[in-house]
């Protein structure tokens, strides 16, 4: 199963390297694109849950790394919950072999 990392930039300028066990993130984010925080969270919930389910289909168990990444993203987003215009940018994709 191809894995990937994707780098995001939070509204405060901090960059974070994120993990997905599947390339499905490419269906939900585009490099260089900015997303409203609520939209970004919806996209990440969908993509990382699909990625986890793909692992379940192949190996018989959910992907704790994908679900952990989603939890970290949700925790990071909580810091900006009061910022109405908060944007998260997907800077780049890094495909792992």
Calculate the CA 54 to chain-centre distance.
Answer: 15
**pLDDT digits over 11-53, tens only?**
999 999 999 999 999 999 999 999 999 999 999 999 999 999 9
Q: Contact at 8 Å (CB) between 73 and 18?
A: yes
Arithmetic mean of pLDDT over the chain: 94
pLDDT, residue 84, reads: 80
pLDDT, residue 8, reads: 98
Q: 96 pLDDT exceeds 90?
A: no
pLDDT, residue 32, reads: 97
**Integer Cα distance of 33 and 39 in angstroms:** 12
């Amino acid at each position: 199963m191809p894995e990937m990392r994707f780098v995001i930039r939070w509204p405060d300028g901090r960059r974070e390297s994120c993990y997905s066990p599947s390339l499905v993130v490419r269906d939900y984010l585009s490099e260089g694109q900015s997303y409203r925080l609520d939209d970004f969270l919806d996209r990440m919930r969908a993509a990382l849950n699909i990625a986890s389910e793909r692992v379940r289909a192949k190996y018989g168990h959910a992907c704790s790394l994908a679900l952990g990444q989603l939890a970290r993203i949700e925790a990071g987003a909580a810091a900006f919950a009061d910022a109405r215009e908060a944007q998260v940018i997907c800077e780049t994709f890094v495909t792992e072999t």
